[in-house]
Structure 1
Amino acid sequence: MILQLSEDSRKIARLLSNETSVRILKLLDRRSMSAVDIADELEMRLNTLKYNLDSLLEAGLIRVRQVKWSRKGREIKVYEAVEKIIILLPGKKIPDMSLILTMLRQLSLKSPEGSDVSGFSGIEFSGICCEPGI
């Protein structure tokens, strides 16, 4: 995900600087969970959690992996983290994707497991690069 400085990029930067959102992302990075399970694990109220889940969903940082049904017939969404690179760019021009990929290759990015990802084919990363003042 490549974002130029805008209100959308500011929302994502604020979201990723929110402690609750980061705790949710770390938890969902380990395994998929329902909102009730996340709330229990993080010891937080369900309505607070749902606000954060909605924000993370809107930003595209998590997704609904599946929908299950409880014995009482209630819908239960199971969430998972979405892995992707997030690059925030200053300026208003559309970035040259080949230049960005070349720069990433030069930096020899490694995945969290330590495997080389210089090909970038079908591989997504998570993280954020942002400048002060966002």
Structure 2
Amino acid sequence: MLQVLSSESAQEILSTLTSDPGTASEIANSVDQSVQNVSYHLDRLCEADLITPTKTWYSQKGREMTVYALATERLVVQFSDSTD
């Protein structure tokens, strides 16, 4: 999970999804990155259970688009002391 979160792009995507769910193309426009790059990070964020596909929308041309949202409202990472 930390490896996925170490990416600045992944952090920007998560930040975008805090306000509203979105499709890969909407997120790409929001973070000013290519859809391919955003899709790569969305896949990794899904694998880490940080985001989840919530529903499917259809474009005006009839294309199926997955809508992504945060899997949880808050993520807390706690490091314990090695002597515990």
TM-score band by shorter chain is 0.7 to 0.9
Q: For residues 130 and 16 of structure 1, do their structure 2 counterparts lie closer, same or farther at Cα, with a shift above 3 Å needed?
A: farther
Distance 2:68 2:49 in 1: 12
Opposite residue 36 of structure 1, the aligned amino acid is S
Give the TM-score of the pair, scaled to structure 2: 0.85
| 2:34 corresponds to which of 32, 45, 53 | 45
Aligned-pair identity in percent equals: 30
Aligned residue in 2 for 1:54: 43
CA deviation map 1:98-130 (0-9, x unaligned): xxxxxxxxxxxxxxxxxxxxxxxxxxx313234
What value does the CA root-mean-square deviation take over the aligned residues?
A: 1.5
Structure 1 stretches lacking a partner, 5+ long:
1-11, 85-124
Whether contact under 8 Å (1:13, 1:130) holds in the other structure is no
Distance 1:45 1:16 in 2: 19
Asked if residue 71 in structure 1 is aligned to residue 49 in structure 2, the reply is: no
Report how many residues are paired.
80
Aligned residue in 1 for 2:75: 126
Structure 2 stretches lacking a partner, 5+ long:
none
